[in-house]
Amino acid sequence: MNKLLIGIFLLSLCSCTVHKIKKSVNNSGVFSQGHMGFMLVDPDKKKTLYAHNEDKYFIPASNTKLFTFYTSYKALGDGLISGLNYIQKEDSLIFWGTGDPTFLHPDFKDTTIIEFLKNVPQELYMVNTFAQVPAFGEGWSWDWYNNYYATERSAFPVYGNVLRLSKSPNEQHGIYPAYFDEAIIEDISTGKFSIYREHKDNIYHFGINREDDNLSITTDKPFITSPDIVADMMAKEVGKPVKTIDNKGYHKLPFKKLPTAKVDSVYAQMMKISDNFLAEQLMYLVSDTLFDSLDMRAAIAYSKTNYLKDLPDEPRWVDGSGLSSKNMFTPRTVIALLAKIREEVPMEKIKSYFPAGGESGTIRNFYKPDEGMPAYIYAKTGTLTMSNALSGYLITKSGKTLLFSFLLNNYTLNANELKQEMEKVLYQIHHTY
């Protein structure tokens, strides 16, 4: 077969594949029940294979974390986090937070700051910069206070700003941190296992069902944070007093930064399990790095002006996690961002950060590859009430890497029905393109 015939054959095959994609999307009885935006792009050919409502704005839910990830990667890189700002004098060590979420976090348990403070001879003074960081983001709901996904943000997170309660089979519960041991009220009941925090107090009610004695259970509940609570927690860990002092512009004086945990591990956990707390705190770390202050709006504005100015549609972006329904992006803007990430972040890192279909993170139970084959979807999910999203990278059987973005709003369907429909479309693309 000569080159001309081969070219005609491949063009015909490609056209047939694109037609099948259009048919499966346009004729879907599931997608027709709400508002759907979808875009599929071959970045190597710079060719749009399919687009539907690609220029319309949608609430992206946790697809917002794609913007947080890219901004953080640009500003923070992939090295160590700056976990503490400090000024060391002869008789005092004055320090304040950077927003670092890893400090004594139950999944990272970084103790760099504790070891540093233990070993300095000076008296310890923590600057109160807490007013810079609202506990909840713009557009968040007040009644999320008891849920891990809405853990309070803060200038100086400690223990991930959560109480982690675990129960092993037939054993008493374990508490991390032990600081809250006396804040637990046990309620023996015949109901299901439960734990909830009182709205305005760090008092936790722990419901026990003896029928659950053979179960292993771990749950995280946010605590209300404050300068005094953080100073008290740190004093107990360090073994010496930590006093709080007013913010008198110490950031305008020469100060040093203390490196702590690897930011790579934070990117991976944020993306894989869609950790809202880590996403929010990353944007505060960006602000600390850029401005020596904690200002979410300033960090977002800087990113839009300096990192994202070439996107086709301006992102309506207000928080780091996507919990706010005030966030709005278009599919073609998400695609453009995915292209930037692919150009600037090595693919092996993308695969280590993003959830992998059938293997890890929020899509481990969906988008499973054929038996014995590697994952073909590396993508970020997004879920809010009546909002569902999936955007990322699709690797075809022929070895091509395609960019895709599904943004779905105002569906009353169960989220699994939408996921199953997206899975059908994406597998078809993987198998045939």
Using pLDDT thresholds of 50, 70 and 90, give the confidence band for residue 189: low
Q: Is residue 6 predicted with pLDDT exceeding 60?
A: no
Mean pLDDT on 35-44 = 96
Q: Is residue 9 predicted with pLDDT exceeding 50?
A: no
- Comparison of pLDDT for 7 and 54, the residue scoring more: 54
Residue 8: per-residue pLDDT: 46
Residues in contact with 433: Cβ distance below 8 Å, sequence separation at least 6, in sequence order: 14, 17, 49, 396, 398, 400, 402
Mean pLDDT on 279-285 = 98
- Comparison of pLDDT for 393 and 215, the residue scoring more: 393
Mean pLDDT on 397-418 = 94
- DSSP letter at 336 equals H
* Cα–Cα dist 119/98, whole Å: 20
Residue 218: per-residue pLDDT: 86
Residue 346: per-residue pLDDT: 97
Question: Tokens at residue 272, please?
Answer: 């894989």
Q: Is residue 426 predicted with pLDDT exceeding 60?
A: yes
Per-residue pLDDT tens digits for 204-249: 988 766 566 667 788 999 999 999 999 999 999 999 999 999 999 9
Per-residue pLDDT tens digits for 297-312: 999 999 999 999 999 9
CA distance from start to end of the chain: 21
Domain with CATH 3.40.710.10 in the chain: 16-73+282-432
% of the chain surpassing 70 pLDDT: 92
| Full-model pTM | 0.93
Tokens 């073994």, located at residue: 239
In angstroms, what CA-CA distances link 246 with 86, 114, 136, 295?
Answer: 15, 22, 23, 18
Q: Is residue 30 predicted with pLDDT exceeding 50?
A: yes
- Comparison of pLDDT for 122 and 22, the residue scoring more: 122
Residue 15: per-residue pLDDT: 61
Per-residue pLDDT tens digits for 355-364: 999 999 999 9
DSSP secondary structure string for all residues of 20-75:
HHHHHHHT-TTGGGSEEEEEEEETTTTEEEEEESTTS-B--GGGHHHHHHHHHHHH
- Report the chain's mean pLDDT, rounded to a whole number: 92
CATH topology of domain 16-73+282-432: Beta-lactamase (3.40.710)
Element (H, E) at 158: none
